[in-house]
Structure 1
């Protein structure tokens, strides 16, 4: 069932319910007291954005937010600055309720880790690469989601965009992950652009057939053919970053464990 519109209070309640759920898994330090919300429609987005940023997050006024179509291209955006967090949320869009929760959780994840802290927990404007808060820290899930900035200098996940080119994949065919427990290698098998609520972000699977559908979903959308076919018995990582095509899509690279 689709809910075509939400009241501001309804959006606020759902957001803070999602925040409470998030903090059960990860004490983010983001609370109802230090988070501000603003709601917009494509028609009033520019005015809301300017007022919101002018009062709370002036650095964001440096973005190219006046570009045509900017406020039609995303459902939510996260902000951070001087100990205060914020989210601008589109209040005039069709959502399935679980999708709405996912958007909120995604933005909360941005605020908690992705935007404001480095891997060691210290404040850092560049943020950090991080696991989805629902993921098994030991990388034992069938599909482990890992997020990172699309940095212009090529760090973090800034290089993932190059997997549009088969030649780049041939020179860089695998991902290595190392932590205190060991080192794992994953062979890249798919790279593609996808929406925020796509099957790519699924983490719970009830059968081998459902896992196979997930594998085929990625293979069928990949912009290059790596010739690698994972199985439902494998473990997969999905690296997710900005697509460069707007706020409502992501660029993902998927890899299957080989070592």
Structure 2
């Protein structure tokens, strides 16, 4: 009997110790769980922190690259502007190229001329690739890749003959460079004070008076719609009259400048966000240095 009691007492102690052991084990497991949870949370925070740092560095790098690209672009254009100004008034070479463009032409034989609109930021060399129409959409004057591209003439145009209508393209840059300031021409008051365009070819200084400012869009070639960017030459008076009628239907306001058969034109074209594939265009006619026909 006493032995039975002793065995029972021993079993009770064993059971008590087992329960205590189980309790301690459960406590340790909970502690380990909490530690692991904290470690996972810390690891997650470290990963998120690393991602944020990397993202910030990438953004900063892109910002610095964009800033540098804008600086380099402006610096390169400034050098060309200074080169043009310093050579102006010199002697015309035997090949007939104006002195201000002789050195530039040696640098890039795609040079077609120079465009200036006084009182604006538009003061750029104009290039033309006869091989690949869109090359200068994303290449600068030196042939380097550049998202701002260059101001360039339609590959179909003969600038030097010249065609009845020379079409000149440029990006609508947010910082106002290239043709970014053309959007201001939707304001008639702006037009009134910036209506003269200078577009030199390699061989001749030319002055133009803006006759129309309009909005349009790029259409499929198969669409039977008026495409201002497809008018290069007038077959006759009738076709020119039809062209003028279509231009007038798209203009933002009346300029009071008439277009007549025989006029030599330039059309400046850039993107516009009013609608998908939207375009803003400006048509100007050649005039004398006094702004008269």
Give TM class, smaller chain. 0.5 to 0.7
Whole-angstrom distance in 2 between the partners of 1:162 and 1:156: 13
Q: CA deviation at 1:204?
A: 4.2
1:253 matched to 2:276: no
Within the candidate set 79, 103, 127, 2:149 is matched to 127
- Matched ranges for 1:47-86 at <5 A: none
Whole-angstrom distance in 2 between the partners of 1:237 and 1:184: 10
Within the candidate set 239, 243, 247, 1:210 is matched to 239
Match of 2:266 in 1: 237
Match of 2:182 in 1: 160
Normalising to structure 1: TM-score of the pair? 0.54
RMSD, aligned α-carbons: 2.0
Q: Is 2:141–2:150's contact at 8 Å kept on the other side of the alignment?
A: yes
Structure with the higher helix share, 1 or 2:
2
Match of 1:65 in 2: none
Normalising to structure 2: TM-score of the pair? 0.48
Structure with the higher strand share, 1 or 2:
1
1:109 matched to 2:133: yes
Within the candidate set 175, 180, 196, 2:197 is matched to 175
Match of 1:199 in 2: 227
Q: Which has the larger radius of gyration?
A: 2
SS of the residue corresponding to residue 160 of structure 2 reads: coil
Whole-angstrom distance in 1 between the partners of 2:286 and 2:201: 15
Over 6 Å off, 4+ runs: none
Cα separation, partners in 2 of 1:139 and 1:171, compared to 1, 3 Å: farther
Unaligned 5+ segments in structure 2 are 1-61, 63-131, 220-225, 289-293
1:221 matched to 2:244: no
Residue deviations 1:23-57, cap 9 Å, x none? xxxxxxxxxxxxxxxxxxxxxxxxxxxxxxxxxxx
Whole-angstrom distance in 1 between the partners of 2:186 and 2:153: 23
Q: Is 1:177–1:185's contact at 8 Å kept on the other side of the alignment?
A: yes
SS of the residue corresponding to residue 159 of structure 1 reads: helix
Unaligned 5+ segments in structure 1 are 1-61, 63-107
Match of 2:208 in 1: 186
